[in-house]
Structures are given as C-alpha cells and as structure tokens.
Structure 1
Amino acid sequence: MKEILTEINGIPIYKKCTHYLPYNPNLKMLLAKKRKAGILNEVIFWKKVRVKNFHKIDFDRQRIIGNYIVDFYVKTLGLIVEIDASSHDEKEIYDGIRQDYLESLGLKVFRISDFDIKNNLSVVMKELEDFIIKHYSM
C-alpha cells in the first residue's frame, strides 16, 4: 500500500520510494559557494517552499546528485526543481544531457524560468502543484 505524503487540493500525493543516488563529494566546495551566492530567483522560490511551507513537502536546496548540483530536491517524491536563468538559453544540449541522466535515476524534473519566478510566482506555484498531482497522485 502506498504511503500518502500530503494532499494538494484534496488530492492525495503519494511518497515515491527513492533509492540511493550517486554523489560526487568533489562538488562540496562548489556547493558551498553556490549557497553563499544567494541567487535571487532561488532565494525567492526557497522562501515559498522552505520549512515545508508548500503543502508540507520537504524541499532541499542545492543538492548534489551524481556529478550535478540541482537547485531543489524533494527526496520523498524523487522530484527535482530546476530554475533556468537566461544564461540557460545557450545550454540546451547540456541541460538535455543532464535531465536525461537525472531521469535515468528515476527522478522527475520540473523546470521553471528565472523570469517566471520573478514575475509570475503564483503561476509557477500552481504549475508545480499541477506537476506534482500529475506525477504523484496515483
């Protein structure tokens, strides 16, 4: 029987068993630098989801998975939230390879733009709800 993590709009959201994920300890120094940088779009999103503010779901900020540092990670769902800055426009191939790798581990990736975080945060949060319902309600 599946374990319910939370409910969104009355719809049960089920935990997804996450297994061991690869971890590159050589990225710890870079991780510390990224956290200190306080990138505005990440800070704005973090304020919405930290300390289980978003439907009692526990988000981690800046998590190492394999050879990558993801923006946000929900262990109980196997969900990654990536915020794409305008600099990501030139990195489509890299992002595709990275996303394929993360999905090969059984993880889901929800991508949002830096612009939407700054200008349409309520829409972003609704889209995240819809994504979670679509992938974790059954």
Structure 2
Amino acid sequence: MTDVEQLLWRHLRNRHLSGWKFRRQHEVGRYIVDFVCTETMLVVELDGGQHAEQTDYDEHRTQYLQSMGYRVLRFWNNDVLANIESVLEVILDAVASPAPHPSPLPTGERGPGMPESEE
C-alpha cells in the first residue's frame, strides 16, 4: 500500500467509520479496487499523478464497476493528505445513503413493502 492508502485505511479498517466494514485491495470482477464496502456496493479509489495520464482507462474501469451495481468514489492523493476529514465525510455520506438499484423495476412492479400504484 502507498502512504496515502495506509492513511485512509487507518480510518476505514476495523469498522472505524461508523461501523461500516471496508475491505482493501479487493477483487471486484476483473479489477482489484483500493477499498470497497460490499454491504453498500461502494468502491473508493485513490488516484495519484499517474491517473492524470490514464483517464480513459479509469473511466472504462468506473463504467465496468457501475455496470456491476457499484458506486465509485475517486479521490486524488493530495485531497486525502490535505483534508482527510472531508474525504471521510464524503465516504460516510455515500455509505449512509442507499444506492439506486442498477436496474429499476419495470412499471407496476414494486419491492416488498412498497405500495402498489393507484389507478
């Protein structure tokens, strides 16, 4: 792990962030992601200077993860170093808010406990 990954991991590991369980260097499909909360389908990626030169690759990777139902947050390394509290706040807001379903239910179908549409 890089120094920046170690810094963020200290705040995410052992359920330090409001009890949410994160994994690091976890396989998701064909990629290894920096951090993931599988319960909320949230991926957190840290980007260093090399990512400025590989934006197409990162965009393709993000689209792939999103197609699997994951939400992806990306932070520049310097943001983590300069303002870790703000980064943690964004991550906490993301895990605390429900993710939209990747494939909305067809019209007329509802999940459990959802009222049927009135006609």
Q: Normalization by structure 2: what TM-score?
A: 0.78
More helix as a share of residues = 1
Superposition map of 1:80-99 within 5 A? 80-99=43-62
User: Shift of residue 62 of structure 1?
Assistant: 0.2
1:112 is matched with: 75
Distance (whole Å) between structure 2 residues aligned to residue 135 and residue 112 of structure 1: 21
CA–CA distance in structure 1, aligned partners of residues 16 and 97 of structure 2: 20
Q: What do residues 7-62 of structure 1 show as CA deviations (whole Å, max 9, x unaligned)?
A: xxxxxxxxxxxxxxxxxxxxxxxxxxxxxxx3111100000010000010000000
Identity of aligned residues (%): 31
Instruction: Determine which of 67, 71, 74 is the counterpart of 2:34.
Output: 71
Quick check: which has more Rg, 1 or 2?
A: 2
Give matches, 1:1-138, under 5 Å: 38-136=1-99
Deviation at 1:134, TM superposition (A): 4.1
SS at match of 1:100: helix
> Which structure 2 segments of 5+ residues have no match?
100-119
| Post-superposition offset of 1:119 | 0.9
Conservation of the 8 A alpha-carbon contact between 2:35 and 2:45: yes
Q: Which moved more, 1:42-51 or 1:63-72?
A: 63-72
Stretches of 4+ moved more than 6 A in 1? none
Q: What is the RMSD computed on CA atoms of the aligned residues?
A: 1.5
1:106 alignment partner AA? G
Q: TM-score, normalised by structure 1?
A: 0.68
